[in-house]
Structure 1
């Protein structure tokens, strides 16, 4: 695998959670989750070029450059229930990945969880183009919060972070693919109570992406509540996964031949 990092306890999991990190961050953000969740829940994360273990590769600057190779690798995960979990930019990419899987593979993930992100097709769209200069990247970090002032003043750190973060902001500033059908699966929205960068009324428009099964949950802290309140977030995620497994009927052989629910 090039785009995916798999930290599952074994190949014989009941469900997989595919995690997509926020702008400028890497797959290792989610590595600890496999230790904190049930062994029946497989945990994988997306590693974009230009960060983490792919630091030496050129970053990509468009949604299409992400979706083509990523959807090809994710297609190998469709033999059992699949949850897409995206934080911030990761939720936007996750939604487009769901669409790409439906369009190209005829597969719909079983659940989409969007954390700290407004609905992706909502208009007017957030203006990410204003943050594409080097100083704009610093302004973006200040706007989102969570970056200590000493790191913002650390030129070595910023020299490492700016190219990847600017590439991610360019992806967000670019118009998404024209195909705009809803995701067609249950959707859960996780929000930080003090996240000034995500308006709850705009996040509520994720409902239109769902199949009608929709809910929103709010957590203490700001934009990075996923890291700040990992225990509470994973408790909610575990409950959502348990509901999903309870609702999943016996899978059709064409799509999930290996899935067998474990006794709990």
Structure 2
């Protein structure tokens, strides 16, 4: 630079410099840049002096800066920044990233800043774009699924003159739903009704709806009854008001063949109502547990069936029987012809090779597999909804451990070492393409030890390890063990941990179903002993909850000691079970990272 230095100084001296409009840490001095310091000599020093990158970051960290955004076409300096500040808990975000839509990446990084409490000038951000402002409600959202089903319009061509047909006009539909308020509004719009007559409408409509429902329930013509049930199968609104009452009365009067059909229709409607599974998606030979129902859905179904069919349904039916087998047992219970079937603890379908990988399918587009390990007490179904957030080239492979969901009849593992050895041999045939492990809490520990076992056996190694809601394995768990507690104290401990749904804790039958897996999983956690080995070769990504009282961000950050590659940490604003509330954002992060590997390989 020496040959051009004199000419450069003359040029730099001819420029009038404005003072900085925002705070700047000079990478020449690693100190805040003042207006007085900006002169020709300053810029000449830039030509010859080394860049104080690490010292500049240390200055920022010393005054409390935790969020670092790299402005540029791709993230180059972020990795260097993490290396310079290994002890600092910081958020590192790119502005652009090759292979990703510019707006998508900028909005993703902006969203991360926003959820971490950074103030955003939304007016400035949107000033060049037409936006429609929408006022959000002031009440908190309820975490409940609502299904918006439209009425079947295929029957609207039927006429009132046909007594053999069911009407689906607006008024009839409102009667079917028991919607008194809307019926009153319909009649209020009629011009020749007086004010005094309008006052009588609510009472009249209530009586009319009651009479209509009683009349419908008392139908005796079996052909009409079957038609009513079949037509209502595509209309979930019909279920709570008429079909559930009608089913029980009609079942008792029907012949055996029709009983099975009526019960099958009822069961289909119940699955649609509780789990959103349509009738054309059902394979009646498939175990119910393989449909992806969680424990709350099963409890809700059981409650409806016992109320509507006047029977006691054993919990084991939901874990080990196919849909067809459940129908047979329900018919026996309803007709009183047999005591409930004792569920086989080792049914034939449990012997199938894919029982550990219930969702493993032949995917011609898949070039990467993501194996997912659940937390204590949970099953593979907690990952089934991830498929909507993953591209087709990533095959989702949730691991189903013994003792839960469709494997309830099997004895669960109580120690990690034998489980890891079993998993290594079972998964080996499926490691023929690049893959990654994801695990939450206990699942993170399992995925870590499995990765080390694969290395000992010289099997293929994972491309990534994604660990969630878990302290690093070298940090001892100092909490008192709970897996040996008597049942009342064990249930109290589960309540404190807030991971087991209240409906299970209060239902003794459900609790007996889930208890063995929960105890065994906590036994694996609480008897685990870490042994020191060489760090893994793959990168590790850590995820945590900012409100997690069990695992701190520092304990998750300590996972960086377990990799020879790089480590990244992402925190979400929720408790230990943030993987449900932050599912889309977390799966998107995992997907983006995996796709980077796929792009490099192509």
- TM-score scaled to structure 2, two decimals? 0.39
- Structure exhibiting the larger radius of gyration computed from Cα positions: 2
Residue 75 (structure 1) aligns with: 428
Deviation at 1:201, TM superposition (A): 1.0
Aligned-residue RMSD, C-alpha: 2.0
Counterpart secondary structure, 2:457: helix
Whole-Å separation in 2 of the counterparts to 1:179 and 1:102: 14
Residue 481 (structure 2) aligns with: 129
Return closer, same or farther for 1:7/1:107 CA change in 2, 3 Å cut-off: closer
**Larger RCO, structure (CA 8 Å, separation 6 or more):** 1
Counterpart secondary structure, 1:86: strand
Whole-Å separation in 2 of the counterparts to 1:106 and 1:142: 40
Whole-Å separation in 1 of the counterparts to 2:409 and 2:378: 15
Residue number among 201, 206, 224 corresponding to 2:559 in the alignment: 206
Residue 235 (structure 1) aligns with: 588
Pick which of 103-112 and 43-52 moved more: 103-112
Residue 58 (structure 1) aligns with: 411
The answer to whether the aligner puts 1:163 opposite 2:516 as a matched pair is yes
Residue 256 (structure 1) aligns with: none
Return closer, same or farther for 1:54/1:214 CA change in 2, 3 Å cut-off: same
Return closer, same or farther for 1:181/1:127 CA change in 2, 3 Å cut-off: farther
Deviation at 1:78, TM superposition (A): 2.1
Whole-Å separation in 2 of the counterparts to 1:242 and 1:167: 36
Counterpart secondary structure, 1:58: coil
Instruction: Map residues 2-151 of structure 1 onto 2, 5 A cutoff.
Output: 2-8=355-361, 10-122=363-475, 124-127=476-479, 129-133=481-485, 134-151=487-504
Whole-Å separation in 2 of the counterparts to 1:145 and 1:55: 22
Whole-Å separation in 1 of the counterparts to 2:596 and 2:576: 26
Deviation at 1:70, TM superposition (A): 0.7
Return closer, same or farther for 1:60/1:147 CA change in 2, 3 Å cut-off: closer
The gaps in structure 2 that reach 5 residues or longer are 1-353
Query: Quick check: 2:468–2:543 contact (8 Å CA) kept in 1?
Result: yes
Residue 574 (structure 2) aligns with: 221
Query: Quick check: 2:373–2:380 contact (8 Å CA) kept in 1?
Result: yes
Return closer, same or farther for 1:2/1:8 CA change in 2, 3 Å cut-off: closer
Aligned residues: 248
Deviation at 1:32, TM superposition (A): 1.9
The gaps in structure 1 that reach 5 residues or longer are 250-260
Deviation at 1:236, TM superposition (A): 1.4
The one-character-per-residue Cα deviations of 1:197-218 (angstroms, maximum 9, x if unpaired) are 1111111110011123100001
- TM-score scaled to structure 1, two decimals? 0.86
Residue 185 (structure 1) aligns with: 538
Deviation at 1:67, TM superposition (A): 1.0
Residue 506 (structure 2) aligns with: 153
